[in-house]
Structure 1
Amino acid sequence: MSIPAFADISKSANDLLNKDFYHLSAGTIEVKSNTPNNVAFKVTGKSSHEKATSGAIEGKYTDKSLGNTTTIFPTQTIKSHTKKRRRASSLTASLCGIKAPSWPLDFSIFLSQQGSQLLMLYRRAGLTLTQTWNTANALDTKVELADTLAKGLKAESIFSFLPATQKKGVKLNLTFKQSAFHGRAFFDLLNGPTANVDAVIGHEGFLAGASAGYDVQKAAVTGYSAAVGYIAPQYSAAVTATDNLSVFAASYYHKVNSQVEAGAKATWNSKSGSAVGLEVASKYRLDPVSFAKAKINDRGVAAVSYNVLLRPGVTLGLGASFDTQKLEQATHKVGASFTFES
């Protein structure tokens, strides 16, 4: 069993309760495309119920071919040139007598000429570059390295820039995952700086995790949380305590069969009062290309949704929410979503 991250201990129940409900926006359109050289583009546009519109364009490059270079660089050849690679320069490929690979090197050249040579010769490098630009004129660049420094270790560097205010941000995220352990560390280098760490250990389906935040400038712990859970192939349960162990939540998810899923979540805030919030949801797969979902909470707010694959690459989502205690008022919401993928 794969050990989830701390935030994903109750993921099955949270996804059932929150994902694929399309009433949250009046309209959403998403276009995804992939190029032959491992570049994925995604354009997203949303219109809120308050008539506000927003959008973002994202480009993501994954150097997939570097993970399987044995067809281009025979294993024996790579081993014989390991020492030479460590002394790599811009002429490394020619000095080692290795034929340059044929896949596109646009991303390598984007980094630097020196970097492009190192990338061509390092078998295990797993690089992903993601750049996003949205209608708030915010520019984000994320660079990921997976299984490069150590097996199971992923490092992310996130750079953000707001041209209007000249505000900059730099974040470093580390994830280390093993068979019975999943740990993460998030560093905000310019704001604070601050650090947030969490870890989960697991054994035979049982999970236990904790998280904590720390402000370096204030030299103080900013928050802490804890969680326990159990995950099985057909069901899962979790209890979490967040916001300095003041907000408690218990969730349950059950995959009844191949068509039906059900889940529930109860939340209690020890600071605000004794009332317990409850939410239940269910998902029913109508056929191989469509499903319907429904949920309702203790306040009487119900939501329904319908998702169908119209044709390969085209998905339609419809959703609505109703306040069953105020049916005569205009508190209801309706939304639609289109996703195009190639």
Structure 2
Amino acid sequence: MSLPQPVPPSWKDLGKSASDLLSKDYPYNTQALEVKTKTPNGVQFRVAGSQAAGPISGELEGKYTDRAHGLTLTQAWTTGNVLRTQIELENLVAKGLKLDAITSLMPDKGTKSAALNAVYKQSGVHTRAALDVFKGPTVTADTVVGRDGFLVGAETSYNVTDGTIAKWSAALGYTDTNYAVTLHGLNKFNTFHASYYHRVSADVEAGAKAVYDTKATQGGVALEVGTKTYLDKAAFVKAKINNQGVVALGYTQALRPGVKAAFGLALDTTKLSGAVDGTPSHKVGFQFTFDS
């Protein structure tokens, strides 16, 4: 008798280990501050602000979770005057089924959006469906099936009004305790992503990602490789480089329980002399996170 299969990752999380390694903890293009608090009755608040090239953008978010009834309510208000509400129901209708509705509204412009989502997870299968109420409407569905570490996934979108398939994608992968390999064919197989992640040891991780776009004006494959090293239990450094010669460095330090600081630096090795045509060639940034 074969052992029960674990729940595979969702479609959006295929290749997540490599993606997180190469994209997270590099705050070189922004200055950001995030504060998270939790009240005695379980209501969570989050205040976040960041600045890149333009004005400061921020968000105030509150989240209430009723675990006994599988209900989560999240409401947020941004500095762009966007009101966002999300209602989640998990394991209420059936075990492994999660339903949620997400709405957003810009009162000054009258812009609105609404999406209904369903996620079903069981041994060896992870499937999702989403309905964009005002755009199309469009139904998007994806499924990932896993067995003995092998993963097969597919995604498609159907425009109800036009009666046409807007896009389709597929993926293959294999994941083990210390490494993962994933190949995506996206956007009607016009773009291909290949990623690799390897936990070399308890303190060292490495990964790479290659992207080939058949519609790109400039041919070739975009390649990026990176690594992460833990200095101790409270700090780690990350480094990556791409085929355009841009080197990025990240350093994250836990200052105390609930307080984390991250610093990032990006260097364009093809323009070490500095700015070209008024555009900075190198970037620095930082992020502070307070979680109580």
Structure 2 counterpart of 1:22:
27
2 CA distance for matches of 1:264 and 1:126?
Answer: 38
Structure 1 counterpart of 2:260:
315
Shift of 1:296: 0.3
Structure 2 counterpart of 1:235:
179
Shift of 1:329: 2.2
Structure 1 counterpart of 2:66:
63
Shift of 1:37: 1.0
Q: Deviations over 1:262-291 (max 9, x none)?
A: 000111112225401110010000000000
Q: How does 1:129-208 map to 2 (within 5 A)?
A: 129-208=73-152
Structure 2 counterpart of 1:304:
249
Alignment counterpart, residue 292 of structure 1, candidates 216, 226, 237: 237
Alignment counterpart, residue 264 of structure 1, candidates 188, 208, 213: 208
Q: Deviations over 1:192-222 (max 9, x none)?
A: 1111110000100000000001111111111
AA matched with 1:254:
H
Structure 1 residue 34 corresponds to structure 2 residue 58: no
Structure 1 counterpart of 2:278:
none
Shift of 1:326: 0.6
1 CA distance for matches of 2:7 and 2:28?
Answer: 33
1 CA distance for matches of 2:235 and 2:85?
Answer: 35
2 CA distance for matches of 1:129 and 1:176?
Answer: 20
Shift of 1:302: 0.8
SS of structure 1 residue aligned to 2:108: coil
Report runs of 4+ in structure 1 exceeding 3 Å deviation.
none
CA contact (8 A) 2:7 2:121 kept: no
AA matched with 2:63:
K
Structure 2 counterpart of 1:225:
169
Structure 2 counterpart of 1:103:
none
Shift of 1:30: 0.1
Shift of 1:154: 0.2
Shift of 1:167: 2.1
2 CA distance for matches of 1:245 and 1:51?
Answer: 35
AA matched with 1:227:
A
AA matched with 1:225:
S
SS of structure 1 residue aligned to 2:20: helix
TM-score (norm 1): 0.81
- RMSD over aligned Cα, in angstroms? 0.9
1 CA distance for matches of 2:209 and 2:38?
Answer: 37
More displaced stretch, 310-319 vs 282-291: 310-319
Structure 1 counterpart of 2:11:
6
SS of structure 2 residue aligned to 1:143: strand
Structure 2 counterpart of 1:339:
289
SS of structure 1 residue aligned to 2:143: strand
AA matched with 2:230:
R
Q: How does 1:87-166 map to 2 (within 5 A)?
A: 125-166=69-110
SS of structure 1 residue aligned to 2:28: helix
AA matched with 1:14:
S
Aligned identity (percent) is 46
AA matched with 1:333:
K
Q: Deviations over 1:103-127 (max 9, x none)?
A: xxxxxxxxxxxxxxxxxxxxxx200
2 CA distance for matches of 1:62 and 1:224?
Answer: 35
2 CA distance for matches of 1:283 and 1:170?
Answer: 38
